[in-house]
A and B are shown apart, each in its own frame.
Chain A
Amino acid sequence: MKQARKVLSTYSSDTFGVISALYGLGGLLVMHDASGCNSTFTTHDEPRWYGDDGLVFVSAVTEEEAVMGTAGDRLAADMIEACGHFRPNFTAIASTPIPWMTGSDIDLTAAEIEEKTSVPSFGFDVSGMRSYEAGASLAFLALAKRFCTAPKQTIKGTVNILGATYLDLEEEQYDHIKELIESNGMSVLSSWSMKGRFEDIKKAVNAEVSVVVSVTGIDAAKYLYEHYNIPYVIGLPCGPVTDKALLNALKEAAEGHRCITVFEDIVSSRDATDVVIGEPVAARTLAMERSLSKKNDITSNGKACVRVISPIADSPYDAMLMSSGDIVSTDETEIEEELSKCKKIYADGLYRFVCPENAELIKVHHRAYSGRIM
């Protein structure tokens, strides 16, 4: 059964995706939850929590409030009070299973907060039943729609980094991209949102091009392309091959106003015995790097010798970013079966329980999967 997992972990949820995307931008973030979400998110998903003063709380909704439909009013009052105390840049409410199931009007609550405080407020009617990709995508798109409104004044050589949450990226990966951009005569105008600043989000309309480093940034990138004609490049550079490919793509995208996926020409072989499991952008770029690096090669049939399994399926881009030799599967049994044919597996360490004994597991930490476990 697809939904039963004997031993595999769970990807972070849409609720946490919303909060992760917005954390660090000075917002008052509330998970509309009884208890437990705050501890889960801040323990496993948010490495900055300890000693930081980012504002994340739970609404502490009760059964009575959920049944009587009074949670929204109380939450609005609490958040209005908290706005006066904390003076946030914005507020956001992310729903969870019970408010979602009982049809709580999160948008109305957000609207009430905004009306009373004039603080921009968002409601995210997520269910807590989808993966973080869904939630983070919504949050980044909402930021774009709300704050990217100024007339465009393109600043040559500037780049937005989109989809950079701590769920998908390590700081080293972010630093690598930034350095790559800066050492090639460009600069980062805004980061969504690792090491980003709220005031830079508004400036994103002036960038020449965007880099999308995970699926979570694609919707925002499309929005900026459609409304501000900022082309985007999808890819998470992770070595000489993909570094170069990204730089070329950035140049080409800027010059030709064309959106590019760095691995779009790479088609993997269904028979490849090397596999990457992970978030599609990261996994496909890593597969490209490994396939085209000196030690490896394109297989005899002209296809890449490293294929990809996306174990997340909540974004339409998960499937769209795959090539013919790759698969999207959330089914533990199917993943185990696929891995049984593999010799080299690039995956988060918690996949070790389904790796065959004779295969080599190369650990690629993915916080959205294993949290703090390295």
Chain B
Amino acid sequence: MLKPTGLEYSVPARGGWTIVHVGMLVPEAHEIFVCAAGCLRGVVLSAAEMNLTDRFSTVAIEEHNVTDGDMEDLLIEGVSDILNRLKKRPPCVLIYTSCIHHFMGTDLDDCFRVLRDRYPDVDFVDCYMTPTMRKSTLNPDKMMRKRLYAAIDPLPTNEDEVLLCGNCFALTENNDIKVLVKKAGKKLFELPLIDNYADYKKLGSSGLIISNLGVAKDAADELAAKLKIKSLQIPFSFGYKEIYDNLKKLAGVLCTTYDSYDEDRERADLALKKAKEIIGDTKIAVDGMITTRPFSLARLLYEHGFNVGLIYSDSAAGEEEDFEWLKANVKGLENEKCISPDMRTYKYDADGKILALGQKAAYFTQTPYFVDMVENGPLYGFDGIVELSKMMTESFLTEKDLKKTLDIKGWGCDSCI
């Protein structure tokens, strides 16, 4: 057994979204990464695999730029050269700088000032691929969610417009949030459903911002402050009480009431019961890729009679209560850290069929029976539990091609692989 080290392993499960995928949610925006070749390699091919090469460009930092001290010129002239050569001028350009700019103290303010002067018809957004600073500042994922909304400017507020902030996937039609917003006579806007830049800009008239992902909270708060409106975080959870509290809180802010708790809970219970009837005592493995709350999910399933045996997650941060509850109540539950180097040679000896919830759990257990989804997908609340129960049943009954599925980068995105 290897003692914990700082070395990190990368599981060959590619469904997670990167800052390239997230940035592409800004409709019609063009991404330009200004980085060293090694940093460009992953992002340029992510865009190519998404068939979005026409919305992606690069400026390569070379060794001489570091010694010559011309990082500002490189950024300004590189971006200008690309914009001058594009057939159509994009309305918005996301410029991603990298760790090296920040270590060298590159004057990014000046770079952006010059570019805005040169191209007044373009919204330039400063974005960051700075993994070295992941522990000392906002991590790149949180930062990217913030930058997603940076080009939105305040418009006259429309109290009937609600923005769900920071999610990469649109919610299911009957989702609890959507139902409540509709009940309040308001309209919900979700970035994944917005397909042109003009509509993106109109988000500036939002009257309320809600978010349910931890990585989106800063983005929601920052945009709300800019628009001078309220921001409400209703954290994603599989716990009934937490969901209830959140929906009640949301209803209050929307000036309506949440009074379908009994029905919603029954619907979720029934869905889980049906799934259990089919899945039976099959061992279930959960990972931290399918959901932001793997321990909450494991607890929900255990409380509904499922045989939860394995959790693959690097952290229990934010769900310590569920983690402790599982530790105290579930005997033999194994919990593995995915990035630990010894996971490279980890072999799980499955004693029978396994249903995996998430790509990493599927890889580690090598099961063709798995729910393929990342970061909660389109789920939230009680309806989310109903939908997940259906996915579990379907995945239990239908084999998937494990390698082929895990190979595709950016779950839900177009892929040429």
Residues of A bordering B, CB below 8 Å = 1, 3-7, 9-16, 30, 33-40, 42-45, 49-51, 53, 55, 57-64, 66, 74-75, 77-79, 81-82, 85-86, 96-98, 101-102, 127-131, 333, 350, 353, 370-373
Main DSSP-derived SS at the B contact region:
helix
Q: Is the CB of A62 within 8 A of B136?
A: yes
Q: Which residues of B contact A129 (CB under 8 A)?
A: 36-38, 60-63, 66
Contact present for A372 and B135 (CB under 8 Å): no
A1-B78, A97-B100, A350-B48 known, 11 other contacts, Cβ within 8 Å: A4-B59, A4-B78, A38-B10, A63-B133, A98-B132, A129-B36, A129-B37, A130-B63, A370-B45, A373-B48, A373-B417
Q: What are the residues of chain A within 8 A of B342 when measuring CB–CB?
A: 85
* Cβ B41 vs Cβ A63 within 8 A: no
Alpha-carbon distance between A15 and B98 when the two chains are bound, in angstroms: 17
Which of chain B's residues 1-47 have a Cβ closer than 8 Å to chain A? 1-3, 5-10, 12, 14, 36-42, 44-45
Residue numbers in B under 8 Å from A353 (CB-CB):
53-54
B348 within 8 A of A: no
Q: Report which residue of B2, B14, B98, B341 has the largest number of chain A beta carbons within 10 angstroms of its beta carbon.
A: B341
B93-137 residues with Cβ-Cβ distance < 8 A to A are 98-100, 103-104, 129, 131-137
Contact A44 B45 (CB under 8 A): yes
What is the bound-complex CA distance between A75 and B74, given in angstroms? 33
CA distance A362 to B86 in the complex (A): 26
B41 to chain A minimum Cβ distance, whole angstroms, is 5
Which residues from chain A contact B6 at a C-beta distance below 8 Å?
59-60, 74-75, 78
Q: Which of B10, B99, B406 has the most CB of A within 10 A?
A: B10
Which residue of B54, B134, B409 is within 8 Å of A43 (Cβ)? B409
Q: Does B344 contact A (CB under 8 A)?
A: yes
B3 in contact with A81 (CB, 8 Å): yes
- A181-B367 Cα distance, complex, nearest whole Å: 42
| B417 → A minimal CB distance (Å) | 6
Pairwise interchain contact B57-A7, C-beta atoms closer than 8 A: yes
Cα–Cα, bound, A42→B11 (Å)? 9
Q: Check B41 against A4 for contact (C-beta < 8 Å).
A: no
A32 to B12, CA, bound (A): 20
Question: Which residues does chain A contribute within 8 Å of B40, judged by CB atoms?
Answer: 10
Query: Given A57-B7, A63-B135, A82-B5, are A101 and B103 neighbors across the interface (CB < 8 Å)?
Result: yes
* CA gap between A45 and B132 in the complex, in Å: 22
- B37, B85, B131, B416: the one contacting A36 at CB < 8 Å is B131
A314, closest chain B residue (CB): B37
Contact B409 A62 (CB under 8 A): no
Given A43-B409, A57-B341, CB of A128 within 8 Å of CB of B74: no
Q: What CA separation (Å) do A156 and B82 show in the bound complex?
A: 56
Q: How far is the CB of B9 from chain A (nearest CB, A)?
A: 6
**Minimum CB distance partner of B78 in chain A:** A4
Question: Closest CB-CB distance, A126 to chain B, in whole Å?
Answer: 9
Q: A81-B5, A97-B98 are in contact. Are A39 and B38 (CB under 8 A)?
A: no
| CB pair B45 A127 closer than 8 Å | no
A37 engages B38 (CB within 8 Å):
yes
Specify which of A6, A11, A55, A60 lies most central, judged by the most chain B CB atoms within 10 Å of its CB: A6
User: Does any Cβ of A come within 8 Å of B334's Cβ?
Assistant: no
Instruction: Name the interface size band of chain B.
Output: 35 or more
Are B57 and A102 touching (Cβ within 8 A)?
Answer: no
A81 / chain B contacts, CB cutoff of 8 Å: 2-3, 5
Bound-complex Cα distance A370 to B100 (A): 25
A66 to B102, CA, bound (A): 12
Q: Is the CB of B159 closer than 8 A to any CB of chain A?
A: no
Alpha-carbon distance A74/B4, docked complex (angstroms): 12
The verdict on B345 contacting chain A, using a C-beta distance below 8 Å, is: yes
Check B132 against A15 for contact (C-beta < 8 Å): no
CB distance from A57 to the nearest CB of B (A): 4
Assembly CA distance A74 to B6 (angstroms): 8
Identify 29 residue pairs between A and B in the complex whose beta-carbon atoms are under 8 Å apart, listed by A's number.
Answer: A3-B61, A3-B62, A4-B81, A6-B81, A6-B82, A9-B44, A12-B37, A13-B38, A34-B99, A36-B131, A38-B9, A42-B10, A43-B409, A55-B344, A57-B8, A59-B8, A63-B135, A78-B6, A81-B3, A81-B5, A82-B2, A97-B61, A97-B100, A98-B103, A101-B100, A128-B38, A129-B36, A350-B53, A373-B45
Given A4-B59, A101-B66, decide whether A34 and B12 contact each other with a Cβ distance below 8 A. Answer: no
* Cα distance A353–B98 in the bound complex, in angstroms: 26
Interchain CB contact under 8 A, B9 and A16: no
Encode contact with A along B402-417: 1 for CB under 8 Å, 0 otherwise. Answer: 0100110100000011
Specify which of B9, B42, B344, B406 is in contact with A44 (CB 8 Å cutoff).
B42
Contact A85 B2 (CB under 8 A): yes
Complex-state Cα separation, A66 to B77, whole angstroms: 29
Instruction: Give the docked Cα–Cα distance between A52 and B395 (Å).
Output: 26
Q: What CA separation (Å) do A1 and B57 show in the bound complex?
A: 13
Chain A min CB distance to B72 (Å): 14
Q: Is the CB of A10 within 8 A of B49?
A: no
**What's the Cα separation between A98 and B134 when bound, in Å?**
14
> How many Å from the CB of B264 to the closest CB on chain A?
38
**A34 and B134 form a contact (CB under 8 A):** yes
> What is the CA–CA distance of A17 and B284 in the complex, to the nearest angstrom?
39
A44 and B41 contact, CB distance less than 8 A: yes
Q: How far is the CA of A39 from the CA of B3 in the complex (A)?
A: 23
Given contacts A1-B78, A4-B59, contact A14 B136 (CB under 8 A): no
In-complex Cβ contact of B81 among A1, A37, A372, A373 (8 A) = A1
